[in-house]
A = this chain, B = another copy of it.
């Protein structure tokens, strides 16, 4: 079976799942019932940390969204409209963004979302109903990150089916959008993936040929990794067997960028395929700030508050995390990835990363 057949099948499966929701509603109406849809509850008390999968998951409680209930009728209608919209996207092989979905509803009487939050929330409902991330029914966020390295992908988007690109083609990096997200991963000579928070460091590592030196694919998250990037990291780990190393700023926000790639977020407790529990955070650690005598800034009150929250978070139970969070709290300092430039632009590639990749 060719790869594009498998994509076509995936697409057909998604359309089928959406049609099933529609067919149920038709049946309910024919049986003279007020139609309803069952979803797992996403309320805080139904989100639990699952040590086995090492991510947040939803508990067993469900809710029934019911057209009989006057409070439910609006979100019920919105959910049905969104399911229809997703089916159209799949059928026409188009993608859309969260913002476009919101505006697309603006023409629809009685469906119209009052704001973007309401519309985003209904899209999450649809993800929950289908147990599938919205990217699979072609709804993306506006965020974009980038990738560079010896990885050959094969596109499945219209007009590019079967075309291949090796991701060393463009040294500034190629964007991770719908085309990369839906591509097949064909071949790589790399033996690891290095995920980098900041664009400056990504460019530095391309320029210093870190991809050759460390035999790595480089991914630039541009801050918190968008979900499509987390899904790509997951696939590089699962499908290609590549270990993942994450390199962020040395502050609570950098730590959490790594954690969300590793263990996901409570917001995505209804989804699978976005986490990479075996990925490793290699720095900048709080203990690196001391060990490498990095230039620092003081932690702000907001940073300190965030660190205390993370200390209590079940995802941070491990020894490394506890030690580093506590070190941040005791030294009350933070350092950026670029801080290594103090020792020259190549120090990061010549000294720091080799040490970290070896010992982590």
Contact = CB atoms under 8 A, between A and B. Distances in A.
A104 B132 CA distance: 46
A332 interface: no
Contacts of A106: 295, 339, 341-342
A66 B106 CA distance: 62
Contacts of A203: 95, 97, 140, 177-178
Contact of A344 (B104, B176, B178): B104
B165 A172 contact: no
Contacts of A11: none
Contact of A345 (B104, B209, B340): B104
A152 B175 CA distance: 18
A51 interface: no
Interface in A74-133: 94-97, 99-104, 106-107
A198 interface: yes
Contact of A144 (B172, B204, B207, B342): B172
A142 B198 contact: yes
Given A173-B174, A179-B171, A199-B144, A338 B94 contact: no
A102 B342 CA distance: 9
Interface string A143-176: 1101000000001011110000100011111111
A142 B199 contact: yes
Contacts of A173: 174-175, 177
20 contacts: A94-B207, A95-B203, A97-B338, A99-B336, A100-B338, A101-B341, A102-B338, A104-B345, A106-B295, A106-B339, A107-B343, A140-B203, A142-B199, A155-B171, A160-B171, A170-B180, A171-B177, A173-B177, A174-B174, A177-B199
